[in-house]
Amino acid sequence: MPRVKKGINHKERQILEIIKNYKEPITSNEIMKIAPELNKNAVQPALRTLLSMELIEVVDVIMEKNVASRRFKMTENAPKIIGELFLDEFKSLKRLAGSEELFAALITTKKSDKSGKENIEELKKIIEEF
């Protein structure tokens, strides 16, 4: 059963994104090489939180410089769990700002950025499938 938490913080999100985008399972040392602004005191607690939330899992243990290191990857359930976190945050923010403002923020971007139009097209597809 995943740990109940309202969301993930910036460092946890950054580490989760690194794990997701890395082509193979990754160690904490490799994470710190990719993001040198993160140190062991930031990475280890974030990994524990992500593990407890079942967003990542330990794939295996390898030897690095005579030290056993765990390698991590995202779980199959991570997208569903992240979706639930997003929905909880959306519901909370909706009570504060209202639906119109939140939907506008989701699809509105700077004129030079075409992601707003892409977001609208993605939402259309999701709504049609739903």
Q: Is the pLDDT of residue 2 over 60?
A: no
Q: What is the pLDDT of residue 111?
A: 57
Per the model's pLDDT, the better-predicted residue between 98 and 63 turns out to be 63
How far is it, in rounded angstroms, from Cα 28 to Cα 120? 37
Residues 6+ apart with CB under 8 A from 52: 2, 3
Q: Strands of 50-115 (E only): list them.
A: 56-64, 67-74
Unique residue bearing structure tokens 């992500």: 50
Q: Is the pLDDT of residue 89 over 70?
A: yes
Sorted by where each starts, the structural domains of the chain and their CATH numbers stand as: 10-78 (1.10.10.10), 99-130 (no CATH)
Per the model's pLDDT, the better-predicted residue between 81 and 7 turns out to be 81
